[in-house]
Structure 1
């Protein structure tokens, strides 16, 4: 599976342009996913020095990405190519429902178990909207 992973607020706490502290179990989970054969793409707003800092942070934790802000390493962007990353799954703190616990993310990807959101927030909101 190809998995696009955000950096700020997902791998580390949201402190952009600085590096936040690692979110518990983020890099360990990413390494386990890689060991199971999943291809990881770093998919982030960062560029320049800030992007380099994010890449180095992940590398220092043993996570090296298949590609960074690209669909594959050799991809070259110009004005005629979409910047959208093609992936089977996107892990991002801005997902509907927020960022689940990394253990839940791993369990969902590897075992197909449904992610349960804290305090049933999603279910509560949807039942208020749809009655």
Structure 2
């Protein structure tokens, strides 16, 4: 899968433009996803030197991205059908509806190909929804 990952608030705590403290298990999970064969794209609001600082931070921890703020490294933004929208299968971002799960949960969701609700039910963290009895007897 192609997985786009935000930086500030997702890999590190929000301290933009500074780099915050790494969130627990963030880079180790990203390394494991790379080992599992996933392509990672860093998708960040950062640009220029601030973006390079984020890339360097990750590379120092063994996370090398397939591309940064684009679909593939060679993309130059001048193609006939160029779109700034990243073509990823998944997005890992702290601005996700419902917030950002912890990194071990993120890994389990991807590995098991589950959504968060089904994962929480399977781990017996939440109860499955009670099926309402319908009006018709069949």
TM-score bracket, normalised by the shorter chain, equals 0.7 to 0.9
Deviation of the 1:111 alpha carbon: 1.3
Deviation of the 1:31 alpha carbon: 0.2
Counterpart in the other structure of 1:115: 116
1:87-128 superposed Cα distances (whole Å, 9 cap, x missing partner):
0000000010011111110000001243258x97xxxxxxxx
Aligned residue for 1:105, secondary structure, equals helix
Identify unmatched segments of 5+ residues in structure 2: 127-138
Q: TM-score scaled to structure 1, two decimals?
A: 0.85
Higher helix fraction (1 or 2): 1
Aligned residues: 120
Return the alpha-carbon distance in structure 1 between the equivalents of residues 103 and 115 of structure 2: 13
Aligned residue for 1:74, secondary structure, equals coil
Counterpart in the other structure of 1:74: 74
Aligned residue for 1:109, secondary structure, equals helix
Counterpart in the other structure of 1:97: 98
Return the alpha-carbon distance in structure 2 between the equivalents of residues 113 and 104 of structure 1: 11
Structure 1 runs of 4+ with >6 Å offset? none
Q: TM-score scaled to structure 2, two decimals?
A: 0.81
RMSD: 2.0
Return the alpha-carbon distance in structure 2 between the equivalents of residues 29 and 95 of structure 1: 18
Return the alpha-carbon distance in structure 2 between the equivalents of residues 79 and 14 of structure 1: 34
Larger radius of gyration: 2
